[in-house]
Chains A and B, each alone.
Chain A
Amino acid sequence: MLQNLEQQQLVLNTLCQTLTDPEPQVRAKAAESLGRLELQAALPNLLAQLNDPSPLVRLNIIQALGQLRATTAIPQLIPLLLDEAPEIRAATADTLGKIGNEHTIDYLLKTLNDSTPTVRATAVQALGEIGAEATIPPLLQAFKDVSDTVRIHAIESVSKIYAREA
């Protein structure tokens, strides 16, 4: 439907403007919409709101960055692996799994020590997505994690890495 650049610009401007709406759920929806539409030009606006006070907004922005495959956002995403909200840390790990590279591995490995099992499990999955053989030893360590979910995802990730290597 975005038949021309003018329309694309209109949608982009409208949604980016809504990223600063007073209502958190509206800002969150705007971020989600920009991600769903994969509007690459929204990247600066999304990054500008990445420290929104609402966890829901931050969450949707992080997910949108993953949908945009925004590798340039990696430096700004990494600090969010230490966000106070576990769902933000998990979403960040998930997005880094989609767009990350070998430079993000160290940060994800540190996340394997996160206090929240869901975050550790997502980090394990992200490492499996990135698929570097160097992450096999720490993933094998994760086989001993106290959380069933982490252990299962660790097994899947190791399997995935070896399947990719084969």
Chain B
Amino acid sequence: MARNPNTLKQAIEALSQVLRGNTDPQARAKAAECLGELASAEALTILCQALPQERTPDVQICIMDAIVTLAKPTSDKPMSETPKYDLRGANIGNFAETIQSGGRQDATQNIYAPEQDFNKLLADYKQFFNDLQQKYPIQPPEAALQPIIDAEFQEIQKTQPQRWQNFLNLKCLWSGGKKATLKMGEHFTEENLWGKMAIAFLEGITDDPE
């Protein structure tokens, strides 16, 4: 799946600023880790430039780990193929109840959904949340996440209507039983708030943004 180059550029720039200028070593370490996940030549250059400037050993070690992640041939895959947070690990319950409460979606989207490849839609959706996570390397408090996601969804509706339609189609397929084909687990939803929000949208627990 192709990534939006503008989004990627913005994410790299933001992470680079954190890595170079943030006074909190944990934030710099996290920024290095995130850059390592971006599968970008620019990210690799930024990490190499940052290493000699960094004086905190723990951060230096994180930078080197990120360099190896990016540079090692066996891990040389586009990020969409090796997501850090994998929705296939989602452990979702109350599926049947969700269909009823989310019936509004079924009525309008079944026209498109069956023709679309579920995995492709899911990959793009995961990418959206991966991009969000990189945009906000320091995770906002839980209460602030939903407004952020709503705003991002609204932006997608406005600027990428087809992508937004794909998200809705995914939601429809998810409710229509496709999620049952995924391997159940708990990593994504238990350890990551972004993941919880991603699943909540698909489950119909959160409404579509107005």
- Give A residues with C-beta under 8 Å from B: 1-3, 7-8, 10-11, 13-15, 17-18, 21, 23, 25-26, 29-30, 33, 36-37
Known: A1-B73, A14-B67. 10 other contacts (CB 8 A): A1-B39, A3-B41, A10-B45, A14-B51, A18-B60, A26-B61, A29-B60, A30-B64, A33-B65, A37-B71
A36 and B72 in contact, given A14-B52, A26-B60 (Cβ under 8 angstroms)? yes
What are 30 sample pairs from A and B whose C-beta atoms fall under 8 A apart? A1-B41, A1-B44, A1-B71, A1-B73, A1-B76, A2-B73, A3-B41, A7-B45, A7-B71, A8-B71, A10-B44, A10-B45, A10-B48, A11-B48, A11-B67, A14-B51, A14-B52, A14-B67, A21-B60, A23-B57, A25-B57, A26-B57, A29-B61, A30-B64, A33-B64, A36-B68, A36-B72, A37-B68, A37-B71, A37-B72
C-alpha gap A17/B177 in the complex (Å): 54
CB-defined contacts of A11 to chain B, threshold 8 Å = 44, 48, 67, 71
- Structural contact, A7 and B67, CB atoms closer than 8 A: no
Main secondary structure of the interface of B (DSSP, over half): helix
Number of residue pairs across A and B with beta carbons under 8 Å? Answer: 58
Report B's interface with A, CB cutoff 8 A. Answer: 39, 41, 44-45, 48, 51-52, 57, 60-61, 64-65, 67-68, 70-73, 75-76
Pick from A2, A21, A23, A25: contact of B71, CB below 8 A: A2
Residues of B contacting A37 with CB < 8 Å? 68, 71-72
- Which of A1, A17, A29, A30 interacts with B70 by CB under 8 Å? A1
Q: For B39, what are the chain A residues with a Cβ–Cβ distance below 8 Å?
A: 1
Shortest beta-carbon distance from A22 to chain B in Å: 9
What residues of chain B lie closer than 8 Å to A15, measured between beta carbons?
Answer: 64, 67
B64 A29 Cβ-Cβ under 8 A: yes
| Chief secondary structure at chain A's binding surface | helix
B70: which A residues are within 8 A, CB to CB?
A: 1
A11 to B41: give the CA distance in the assembly, Å. 11
Name the contact of A18 in the complex, choosing from B41, B64, B65, B76 (C-beta under 8 A): B64
CB distance from A64 to the nearest CB of B (A): 12
A2 CA / B75 CA spacing, docked (Å): 11
The smallest beta-carbon distance between B25 and chain A, in angstroms, is 14
- State which of B44, B51, B61, B64 has its C-beta within 8 Å of the C-beta of A7: B44
Report A-chain residues with C-beta under 8 Å of the C-beta of B64: 15, 18, 29-30, 33
Instruction: From A10, A25, A33, give the contact of B68 (CB < 8 A).
Output: A33
Chain A, Cβ-Cβ closest to B47: A14
User: B3: shortest Cβ distance to chain A, in Å?
Assistant: 15
A36: B residues at CB distance < 8 A: 68, 72
The 10 A-B residue pairs with the shortest CB-CB distance, nearest first, are A14-B48, A1-B70, A23-B57, A33-B64, A29-B61, A26-B60, A10-B48, A1-B76, A29-B64, A33-B68
Q: Which residues of B contact A29 (CB under 8 A)?
A: 60-61, 64-65
Nearest Cβ distance between residue A6 and chain B, in whole angstroms? 10
* CB nearest to B77 among chain A residues: A1
Residue among B61, B75, B76 having the largest count of chain A Cβ atoms under 10 Å: B61
- Given the complex of chains A and B, what is the CA–CA distance between A18 and B48 in angstroms? 11
Minimum CB–CB distance for A112 against chain B, Å: 36
